[in-house]
């Protein structure tokens, strides 16, 4: 387990990583949907908030991918 990271879990447990990956993809779809709805409504504040959330999500994803690949798990 890696302490102090955005997500604390065993990076060697590939079954758990598969479930986690599925949850992350669902979250990404929700974020993109929120961005799309805000853009459609021309709500600048909501659009900026959603864009920031997507950027933060992608940054977290890069860190998680790097740690997973270090353990031999391929995260696409």
Domain ranges of the chain: 14-70
CB atoms within 10 A of CB 5: 13
**What is the rounded average pLDDT for all residues in the chain?**
86
Q: How far apart are the first and last CA of the chain?
A: 21
Cβ(57)–Cβ(27) below 8 Å: yes
pLDDT of 31 above 50: yes
- Which pLDDT score, from 0 to 100, does residue 42 have? 93
Which pLDDT score is estimated for 12?
79
- pTM for this structure? 0.80
């Amino acid at each position: 387990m890696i302490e102090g990271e955005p997500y604390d879990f065993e990076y060697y447990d590939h079954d758990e990583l598969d479930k986690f990956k599925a949850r992350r993809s669902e979250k990404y779809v929700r974020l993109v949907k929120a961005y799309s709805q805000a853009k459609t409504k021309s709500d600048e504040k909501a659009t900026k908030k959603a864009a920031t959330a997507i950027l933060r999500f992608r940054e977290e994803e890069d860190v998680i991918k790097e740690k997973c690949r270090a353990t031999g798990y391929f995260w696409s």
